[in-house]
Structure formats: structure tokens, C-alpha cells
Amino acid sequence: MEPHVPSKRGTTFFKTCFNGVNALAGLGILSIPYALSQGGWLSLILLFATAVICCYTGLLLQRCMDSNVLVKTYPDIGGLAFGRKGRLIVATFMYLELYLVAIEFLILEGDNLEKLFPYTKFHIGTMKIGASVLWSGVDDGVGFHERGVLLKWSGVPTAVSLFAFCFSGHAVFPTIYTAMRDRTMFSRVLFLCFGLCFLNYGLMAILGYLMYGQSLKSQVTLNLPVGKLSSKIAIYTTLINPFTKYALVVMPIANAVEDWFQVSKNRLISILIRTILVVSTVVLALTVPFFGYVMALTGSFLSSTATMLLPCACYLKVFKNSLRWGFELVIILAVMLSGLAIAIMGTYSSLEQIILNL
């Protein structure tokens, strides 16, 4: 393996950091206060632990890519480690996560339209939403008076599942890494991106919890005072996000389905596939309109697998001949056990809540 030599092409350090933050900062900002209300103040420790674990597994993906110059994407890493089956497993989890995110966009749209027009039937963003929530607390009479609870054991699975969703950017990390001008700086990019996002999520969680306590809803925008300017700014910003990102989320799924069935050149079938995908997301969003629980399910079943289990499994397989029993191997096994625990308990808790609320 030859050391990477920086070239004049590719993205700069700061551009790469910007892309990394964009990959991590998204829908999670809306539900992070709710996650804290589910787990209690001590769950902030779990938020930090999740950020550290996900940053570490991002570094494991980098090492896998450095071992083979032909590896460019996350499915490539799965293929490098486990062959065709590994590539298929990684791709399946990636596209399932995108599919559930598309459903969440529609639920988000419906919930916030109902908040904005209660009697009607029918990432710059993250900074604006955060500022609007702070504005509501300071200037709109809400205040920061709620004490909250120290620890709520029954809500910990939901909280950790949402935390895992917040730090799930591993599907695009290989693409970001490949596009870098100086790839030796990628570890610093990860440290900076995860650090900034942890501070962003942590501050938003604390502000929301101090303002609304245990009465927090799955989206903090739904707790904001009706009719206030700050509320309208936050909700309008939230409404714009699905419009700009829904097609970007659905398109890779449609392309993957077309490639699988080898029908990408047939325009009629391509239109049919996209129509079925869009209709199915609408039907599921109407059937299961529970934003927080769907996000928790995504985080527990898909995000924890993609961010904790698969990177560790691929790394152990790729470097099986050079690994020795030691501190790092213990850490990797601990991360895998943590990911497995989140996947099992979080998925069970999320499905239970969805079924109870149907």
C-alpha cells in the first residue's frame, strides 16, 4: 500500500468538512430534544459515546479503503470484505435507510403543515431551526424553566436509536474521502465534523428539554408557540427541507432497482418504478405517521448496523491476517456488542410503539 500523495485536484480540507457536516446534520436536529426527554439528562453521555463510536468506525472505513485503491464506495468495502454477498448486504442497508428517510420527509411535511394550518386538511435549515427555537425560549415567553428527569430507563432504547440516526453518515464517507485533495487529513475531518455536530445536537437537545421538558413532541417545531414569528420561520424552514431533498433520496433507490433488473434503458419501466416508489412512500407515511418512532426504527435497525456493525465486521475481515489480540480488538468487539444491543432493543422498542399507536 503506497502512501497517498496530495494532488492539486479534489476538495480542500474545509470543503470536505462542509460536506461531512452536511452528511451528519439533517433530520436528527428536529428529534434530538425528544430523544433527550426520552432518556433523561444522563443520556447526554450516550449522545457523546455514540458520536465517538461513529467517528471511530468512520476511521475503520478509511483504513479499509486505504488497503485497496479500487474501493470507492461503501458497497465496495462490503465487497472487498465479503465478496458479492457483502456488497449486497451493505447496499441493502443503505437503500433501506434512504427509503425510510423518504417516508420521514413526508411525515415531517404533514405534521408541520398541520401545525402551520391547524384547521386545514391536506441544512442551512438546521441553523435556522435552532436559532428559532432559541428565539422562542428567550423572547416569546416560553422560557427555560423545565427541570426534566435525570434518567428514564424505559426511554433509553428510543434515545440511543435516535442518537445513532443523528450520526449516520457512513454511506457517504467513502465518497467524501475519495474526493479529497489530501486524504491524509481525513481523520482530522472526521474529528472536526463529529465534534461540531455533537455540539450542535447537544445544544439543541438541552435548549429544547429546558423549554418543554417531558411534554416534548417528536419534532421540536411542533412544540413552538402558534402564531409567533419564530415558530413560522422554523416551520417554513422545516417544510422546505423535504421539497429540496426528497428526490435526491428516492433517485439512488430507483437507479439501484433499475440496475438490479437491468431495465435502465427502458423509459416506460423506469417511470413505473419511480411511480411505485413514490406512491409506496406516501402510503406508508399515511399508514405509520409517527415521525419519532419511524426515525428510532431507522436508527436502531439500519443506522446502528451501517455505522457500528458493518464497519467493524468489514475491518476485521479485511485485516484478519494482520490483527492481533490487543486493546484495539477489544474496542472493536465492544463497539459491535453495543451496536447489536442498540439494534435489538431499539428495534423492539420502536416496533412496539408503532404497533401500539396504530
**What pLDDT is stored for residue 119 in this prediction?**
52
**What pLDDT is stored for residue 145 in this prediction?**
56
**What pLDDT is stored for residue 4 in this prediction?**
53
How many CA atoms lie within 13 Å of 179's alpha carbon, on the beta-carbon side?
A: 17
Which domains does the chain carry?
13-357 (1.20.1740.10)
The string of pLDDT tens digits covering residues 198-246 is 999 999 999 989 988 888 988 888 887 777 776 777 777 777 777 777 8
For every residue of 238-307, DSSP letters joined together read HHHHHHHHHHHHHHHHHHHHHHHHT-TT-HHHHHHHHHHHHHHHHHHHHH---HHHHHHHIIIIIIHIII
C-alpha angle 214-215-219 in degrees, rounded to nearest 5: 110
C-alpha angle 97-237-13 in degrees, rounded to nearest 5: 65
Q: Retrieve residue 130's grid coordinates.
A: 435552532
DSSP code at position 308: I
DSSP 3-state of 68: coil
* C-beta separation of 230 from 224 below 8 A: yes
pTM of the model: 0.86
Identity of residue 2: E
Residue whose entry in the numeric block shows the C-alpha cell 435516535: 162
* C-beta separation of 98 from 246 below 8 A: no
More confident residue, 188 or 128: 188
pLDDT at 173 over 90: yes
For every residue of 218-232, DSSP letters joined together read SSGGGGSPTT-HHHH
